[in-house]
Structure 1
Amino acid sequence: MNPPQELPRSIQSSWYVFMKSFSELRPDLYRYCRHLTRSPWDAEDLAQDALARAFVTLGQMMGEAPPNPRAWLFRVASNLWIDRVRRERRERPLEGDVSSASSAIDPRGAREAAGTLLGQLSPQERAAVVLKDVFDLTLEETAETLSTTVGAVKTALHRARGKLVERAAEEVSAPAPAVLDAFCAAFNAGDIDGLAKLLLDTVSVEVVGATTQYGPEAAKRTVLFGMLFGVERLADGDPTTGMDARFIQGILAIPPRVEARAYRGGWVLLHWYTHRDGEAVRALTRIDVDDDRVAHLQNYFFTPDMIAEICSELGLPSRSNGYSWCVPKA
């Protein structure tokens, strides 16, 4: 049975209202997830998953909004993260160190292992430290957020504070994959067909938090086209982009350029946009490679907190696009 045609429109409208209502909490949510995961990429993934779970949960709360929305979002993110860590630990091989085990779970694990303390802290310990010491929640609020007791929080804090020793970030030891150079060359030439040829037939191409397309043709029609030529709509102030006008002031209708930069043991593509007062990074892209072709592409455009953090680490100027990616149809 096919769903009613008005269902997708209704869901999109509800999601838009939800995101608009919780937009002020997005920076804190990202920052909380960042402290938990110790990785900007994993933090954005966790924040997106937490928002999706919160959206579904809110629809099941019989019209009752949470009394403390920030603490509620933190609880949703905490539960997701604790479950994820427990699951990954169960799946780890019995032998081998933390970094090799992480790599077996996630191909990106080796790049992020140097920035995580999961090997030293239990999930509850890390969450307790972040909530109490970073966000200054009381012991009672921390216990409520973690669905535990004040005594358990005190114990977790005592244990955790003796373990918190950060490790240095990894340096990139290998050159950028050739497909990244080819991607940058095709992108900067405006060659959308050339970009599509770099994609595997089974590729997934994602604008994080907005849409995912499968296969080269679908990606070419939507995501790749938007990455290359969407700046024209921004410069025209097209209201259907969903972006607040303050985010696109001064942007020029000049196609963006991309360049590959080493970052945290891996590679990231920076999307430089031209403004009346100069260039700035407005988006990032990560690419997973399989046999010299693109197997998975993630474009980060509506993720201002992560973009700002990474550009700050790299010493680069950045601009925000906000969080909103659509305006629901009437």
Structure 2
Amino acid sequence: MRPRLDPEGLFDLRYAAFLETVSHLRVRLHRYCARMTGSALDGEDVMQEALFEAYRKIELLDDTLALRPWLFRIAHNRCIDFIRGRRARQRAEAGYAGDDIVLPVEPAGQGAGRAIEQLVVHLPPKERACVLLKDVFDHSLEEIAELVGSTTGGVKSALNRGRAKLAALPAQPVAIPAHDPELARLLGRYVELFNARDWDGVRALTSADARLRVSDCYNGLLSDSPYFVEYERAELPWRMRQGAIGAEIVLVVDRLYGDVWRPAHLVRVHAAGGVIDRIADYYACPWILEMVFEDG
């Protein structure tokens, strides 16, 4: 696939130039957003929104050296909005009610960062952010305070609370909810038609106003996009199959490299009322698969 210019959508040449400028930060931004939201795919969606917000406000940034903290601050705020929107904050905070006094806890030992990344989803948003930014991304207390809208003292307290809660977490794995069988059947049919290149059949599974988001390329109506044409003329052979990330069913696009099929990227499909109303294709986001493999 190649970027398509859409005057009614989000992406254009100037945005592509902006993405090139911030390319060295994108993997770190995605990792932060993914750990804050608890999902590699949600993290990518939030990061894309944050980058577009930054693009629209780039003229407000006087000092280019401040680009990294500025982008992290925008991404952080988007993550907080996301968490509040799905009521994750209330659930997390309810699980730790009455934890008002917490003794100082030392930072995790070297090499524990990966374990911390996967556990911070159990923390309330502020503590989650402070632990991530300090113990995983190695930001200073001053940088964290500015980013989360607090003081260095407030950050220290949040770090102590967060570290103590992580240390007290039970060892048993979290139960994964069962997949939705109706969605699984619908996606099974979608995969079957997609692999057969039956684009009319695929369209019949989608609503008339189905939305498509292809990272860095397109955001708009599926009916207005060259989505199926791009797959039809892809240079490397491909196939689609069902997979899962945690509790979520996803579609995996494999590419044939020589004689070996390898996962290339993920596709997220949302359905309502038995029809597909949203598709998100992450072909341009290799860091998502890298994170999934790390966590697997």
* Same fold? TM cut 0.5: yes
2:266 corresponds in structure 1 to 284
1:49 corresponds to: 49
Name the Cα RMSD after superposition: 3.0
Name the TM-score, length of structure 1 as normaliser: 0.70
Aligned to 1:131: 133
1:142-291 matches, cutoff 5 A: 142-164=144-166, 165=169, 168=174, 170=176, 172-175=178-181, 177-214=184-221, 217-219=223-225, 222-226=226-230, 228-231=231-234, 235=235, 252=236, 254=237, 256-276=238-258, 278-291=260-273
Structure 2 CA distance for aligned equivalents of residues 163 and 198 of structure 1: 45
Alignment equivalent of 1:79, drawn from 77, 80, 83: 77
Q: Which runs of 5+ in 2 are unaligned?
A: 1-6, 96-117
Q: State the 1:86 CA deviation.
A: 4.0
Q: 1:278 to 1:89 in 2, by over 3 A?
A: closer
- Tell me the alpha carbon deviations over residues 149-185 of structure 1, each in whole angstroms, 9 at most, x when there is no partner: 1111111111111222375251535545221111111
Preserved CA contact (<8 Å) 1:172 1:264:
no
- In 2, the alpha carbon distance for the partners of 1:156 and 1:210 equals 39
Provide TM-score, normalisation by structure 2. Answer: 0.77
After the TM superposition, list the runs of 4 or more consecutive aligned residues in structure 1 that deviate by more than 3 angstroms.
83-93, 115-118, 171-176, 311-314
Match of 1:310 in 2: 292
The alignment covers a number of residue pairs equal to: 261
Is the 8 Å Cα contact of residues 169 and 265 (structure 1) preserved in structure 2?
no
Q: Is the 8 A contact 2:37 2:83 kept in 1?
A: no
**Paired AA for residue 202 in structure 2:** L
**1:70 aligned residue (68, 71, 76):** 68
**Hey, what does 1:301 align to over in structure 2?**
283
Deviations 1:273-318 (A, max 9, x none): 112252222221111122332121111111111122224555xxxx
Which residue type is aligned with residue 229 of structure 2? F
For residues 205 and 278 of structure 1, the distance between their equivalents in structure 2, rounded to whole angstroms, comes to 29
SS at match of 1:177: helix
* 8 A Cα contact 2:37 2:82, kept in partner: no
The change in CA–CA distance for 1:271 and 1:85 in structure 2 (over 3 A counts) is closer
Does the C-alpha gap of structure 1 residues 265 and 86 become closer, same or farther in structure 2, counting only changes over 3 Å? closer
Over the matched positions of the two proteins, sequence identity in percent amounts to 29
Instruction: Give 3-state SS (helix, strand or coil) of 1:163's partner.
Output: helix
Partner of 2:29: 29
